[in-house]
Amino acid sequence: MPYIGTQPKDVRSFGRAKFDFTATQGQTAFTGADDDSKTLGFTDGQIEVYVNGILMDESDFTTSNGNTVTLASAANLNDIISIVALQTDIPNSDYVPASGGTFTGNVGIGATTIDEKLHLENNDTTTTFIKTQNSAGSMIVGNNSAGNSYVSSQAGGKPLIFETENNEKMRINHYGQVGINTTTPDANSFGAGHGILAVASDTGSAKTAMINIIGDGNDTSGTRVASLFFNDASAVGAGATLAGVEAYRATNNATDPGADMVFSTNSNGGAYTEKMRISSEGYTTKPNQPAFYVRHTAAAAYSSAYITNWATVTYNIGNHFNTSTGTFTSPCAGIYQLNAMIGNNYGYSSSTAYGNYKVRVNGIDYNGFNWDPYANQNTWATSILAGMVKLNANDTVRIYVAGLGYPDNADWTSWSMCLLA
């Protein structure tokens, strides 16, 4: 590159210290304090001298003792003599090397008041302050025009990952779905349009999400709009849904907030199915609630025996009633409603049938549930046994005839029970 006058030294790796002196008439030597009271000091051979802004050749001056510059030609009155000392031995505290090095104080870029270790500031309404990039993608950190801060992964289809102790703990994929302790928040491949929060256990080798919160956003009647699933992350049932709560649209009207709330569980050795539903009107239904309704198939005599011929079954939810033995086995502890109607024919034969009908739990009479007919009454009568029974899990319930009884057919004799609470 051409220059007018003397070519300046290459000072790309140097520091600079400038001293300005106002000359008197005929002055040639300049030393000591300059116009700003800075004491002249330099390294011989590492100096530039300017007279009224014009760079002097090294033959136009001499130096001595590292503190005196003598001009070959005397200066005129009020000439400005500028001496630039080029510093080649700068203390480490005064610069940052190209590789390594640290700052001891706060550092600001574009900031007028530096109040943090690294303070980045810009008056633009939208500013990217930090950007990291490699051949695979980039990430930016900044603020937008609304004053919101953001962190953004710029790689197409790639997640934003958060780690502690060099292990991934959370990620946000390109659909906006969040996984905590799992790398696959969208393990069920719901895809775009489904908001997901998946939380997995951080113990063991299995990282299947144990909790999934999913927003489907469907507007069609009978379709799921949101759900909460609890999953099995163990080696035995990895991936199985243990339980869940789901909301289903009640109508096709997108502005109608009506929805059914469905509660489902995975039965032991069974499948994940609905167990309870609260409708948009507040009706509660339990499709698996234990209940049965059976009728006596044909008239028959029983003498101090259990009634067993309950083969006409209207419903037997859960199959807890055994039609072969006439026994109900309670699947769980609770309060059960029991209703039995027995049409008894007292004069079915030469002997008068006036047996005492009883409810027995585990083979023992349940107090308050018995009916003792009138003796020697040669006619029909209907026995009613009704009330609530408190049972433990696996208790057995049967109807017993003490004495001689003759319950008639299905038109006159029936028995039902259901779990209330």
The answer to whether the beta carbons of residues 404 and 366 sit under 8 Å apart is no
Q: Evaluate if residue 405 carries a pLDDT over 60.
A: yes
Ranges 49-63, 262-276, 308-322, 372-386: which has the least confidence: 372-386
pLDDT at position 140: 79
pLDDT tens for each residue of 211-252: 777 776 665 666 777 788 887 755 444 457 778 888 888 776
Between 273 and 12, where is the model more confident?
273
Give the residues across from 163 on adjacent strands: 168
Nearest by Cα to 373 from 339, 400, 346: 346
Q: Evaluate if residue 9 carries a pLDDT over 50.
A: no
Q: Evaluate if residue 289 carries a pLDDT over 60.
A: yes
Tell me the average pLDDT across 308-336. 94
pLDDT tens for each residue of 49-83: 999 999 999 999 999 998 999 999 999 999 999 99
3-class DSSP state for residue 92? helix
Q: Is the pTM of this model over 0.85?
A: no
The answer to whether the beta carbons of residues 169 and 163 sit under 8 Å apart is yes
- The rounded distance, in Å, linking the Cα atoms of 29 and 38 is 16
- The rounded distance, in Å, linking the Cα atoms of 280 and 394 is 35
- The rounded distance, in Å, linking the Cα atoms of 256 and 225 is 13
pLDDT tens for each residue of 83-125: 999 876 555 555 566 676 677 778 877 777 887 887 777 767 6
Tokens of 382: 């209907």
pLDDT at position 6: 47
The answer to whether the beta carbons of residues 159 and 171 sit under 8 Å apart is yes
Q: For residue 205, what pLDDT band results from cuts at 50, 70 and 90?
A: very low
- The rounded distance, in Å, linking the Cα atoms of 197 and 399 is 53
What is the chain's Cα-based Rg? 48
Between 315 and 406, where is the model more confident?
315
Tokens of 95: 């610069």
- The rounded distance, in Å, linking the Cα atoms of 11 and 8 is 8
- The rounded distance, in Å, linking the Cα atoms of 24 and 27 is 5
Between 127 and 204, where is the model more confident?
127
pLDDT at position 115: 78
Following CA atoms 222, 226, 227, 233 in sequence, which dihedral angle do they give, to the nearest 10 degrees?
A: 120
